[in-house]
Every structure is written in structure tokens, then in C-alpha cells.
Amino acid sequence: MSFFKNIFNKEKKETLDKGLEKSKESFFGKLSKAVVGKSKVDDDVLDNLEEVLVSSDVGVNTTLKVIDRIEERVARDKYVGTDELNVILREEIAGLLSETNVGNETDFTIPENTKPYVVMVVGVNGAGKTTTIGKLANQFKSNGLKVVLGAADTFRAAAIDQLQVWADRVDVPIVKQNMGSDPASVAYDTLTSAVAQDADVVIIDTAGRLHNKVNLMNELTKIKRVMQKVVGDAPHDVLLVLDGSTGQNAFEQAKQFTKATEVTSLAVTKLDGTAKGGVVIGISDQFQIPVKYIGVGEGINDLQVFNKHEFVDSFFK
């Protein structure tokens, strides 16, 4: 059994390495220019490094934290060579992620004694929300869990159709109503159906519009309240899906959604098609919300549980 697990872990690591390739190449290309002609880390190198981190979408606040930590090390050790910068960056960013309550799980699991485990998924349209739900359902099902999907994004007919495609592909039941139906009603029906089927996991899709925060907040609050009539402590996870390829715009989306509802975990998608992978570091640090999943490819198995050590290892490999 451990032999097959090792093969699977190796495959996942290779996918992660490949998925972060563009981000890595861009980052180290900039880093090389930042230290060219310099043998020691001085103020000039730190100024250049600050620019590299910000332009790599790590975010200003997180960048300043990293720079402060490196300045402390330089002051303490007196001399730090530029050849050590890669290792130091790796250590400090790993340390930063550790402080952010970011998990280190390696598999798709749910808490024991919570059945059904209800995940409410939020995020703007186009962030990869429906795809993430489909891939998540596939991973849970592969782990032997019974999954039910709820199409509570009734604002767009396409959202219901897309979720149906994923339900068919993964072969899991879906509860839906017509476009324009009350999203809370769909959520209620989904949980009622899940309880009747003795399902392990329920994943509820919600509308991804941000044009009016008050409407969004009211809608999400209503969905939660109605779900709790069926499962008292639902939802157990409010998962915000962010498009990693949008860089700084992902920060803005996170800001808006965390104001509208209590977000408990994050999924950062589309990291394989972008050089903006540094956004994972900044978002997890700035919002103090654990990044739970990352999308590193288009394949059905290319949604991974975020492992901070593996991520930093791949990024700085």
C-alpha cells in the first residue's frame, strides 16, 4: 500500500512542480537581475528584492514582512552572501506560511463525526468555482465518500448546466431548480436530499456576482440560515475560490468576500497558466485564512490539497 502511495505522492509532486514552473522561472529571472554584480546582501539588494516580491504578486504587506525578517538576519549574521538568498527566502516564506494556520494535509479528508459535511463555495464567476467543485467532488468520491452537489447559483443558467456536466462526469447526484429560483430553497433541498441518502459530503455552489456586497451578504446569510434548519451547524466550511492568474485582483476579491461572509478556507486556481503563483503566499498571509486547495493543471486530478512545505519546495526548487 505504501508503495502505491509513494507513487501517487511522486506524481502529485511532479504536477505541482510543473504547475508552478512559470511562476518560478519569472521569479528567479527577476531575482537573478536583482543580485547581479553583488556578492553580499546589502540595502540595494534588499530594495531590489522588495521590488521582485511585489512584482511577483506576493503583495506589499507580506513583502515588507519578508524583507524585515531578512534585514534582521543580515544584522545578526553581519555578512550574508547573495548566494544564500535563495535558501533564506525559502526559510522565511515557509516560516510565514506556518504562522498563517495553513494546513499541511496531504489528502482529501473530512472531519470525523460530521455527516453530512457541508461545504459552501463562494467566488466570482470565472474564478474556476464550478471546476473546483467538480474536481473536489471527484477527489472526495475517490476517497470512498458519498457526495451530493447543490446548484444554488441560480443567477445564471450556464452555472447550473456546468455543474450538471461535472455531476455527470464524476457520477454524483445533483440537486437543482430552474434559473431564477431561490438559492436558499435549492440549498435546503440539497441538504434534505443528502440526509435522506446518508451522504458524507455536500458541496453547494453559490452565485458569483460582486456588484452589490449587501445583496451578496444577504443572500449568503439566508442560504446559511436555511441550511441550518436541516443540518444545525452547516456550513462546516465556506470555501472561497480565487483565480491565481489575476494576481492582485485576487486580493481584492478576497477582501470583498471576506467582508460579505465568514470565509473559512481558500482555493487558488489556475496556477499552472500563470507567473503569479506568489499570490498564494500573500493571500494566505494577509487574510489569515488557510489555503486548503490549489489548482495546478486542467486534469480532473490536478486539484491538490495545499501543503505548505511541498509548495515552497516546488517554488524554490
Mind listing the pLDDT tens digit for each residue in 14-60? 888 888 888 888 888 888 888 888 888 888 989 999 999 998 889 89
Report the share of the chain in percent with pLDDT over 70: 94
Largest CA distance in the chain: 68
The mean pLDDT of 169-193, rounded to a whole number, is 96
Nearest to 95 by CA among 75, 66, 71, 68: 66
Residue 149: pLDDT over 90? yes
Task: Determine the Cα–Cα distance for residues 167 and 115; give it in Å rounded to an integer.
Answer: 20
Alpha-carbon distances of 250 from 74, 99, 310, rounded to whole Å: 32, 21, 22
Residue 18 backbone phi and psi in degrees, to 5? -65, -40
Task: Determine the Cα–Cα distance for residues 2 and 221; give it in Å rounded to an integer.
Answer: 44
Residue 259: pLDDT over 90? no
Work out whether strand 201-206 and strand 117-122 pair parallel, antiparallel, or are unpaired: parallel
**pLDDT tens per residue, range 262-291:** 999 999 999 988 888 889 888 888 888 888
Average pLDDT taken over every residue of the chain: 88
The mean pLDDT of 238-246, rounded to a whole number, is 93
| Sign, CA torsion 109/270/309/6 | positive
SS3 108: coil
Cis-peptide, bond into residue 183, ω within 30° of zero? no
More confident call, 204 vs 28? 204
pLDDT of residue 210: 61
Residue 4: pLDDT over 70? no
Task: Determine the Cα–Cα distance for residues 257 and 121; give it in Å rounded to an integer.
Answer: 11
Using only C-alpha atoms, the chain has a radius of gyration, in whole angstroms, of: 21
Range with the largest mean pLDDT of 87-101, 153-167, 212-226: 153-167
Residue 106: pLDDT over 70? no
Position 285, amino acid: D
Give the range among 82-91, 114-123, 197-206 with minimum mean pLDDT.
Answer: 82-91
pLDDT of residue 227: 97
pLDDT of residue 268: 93
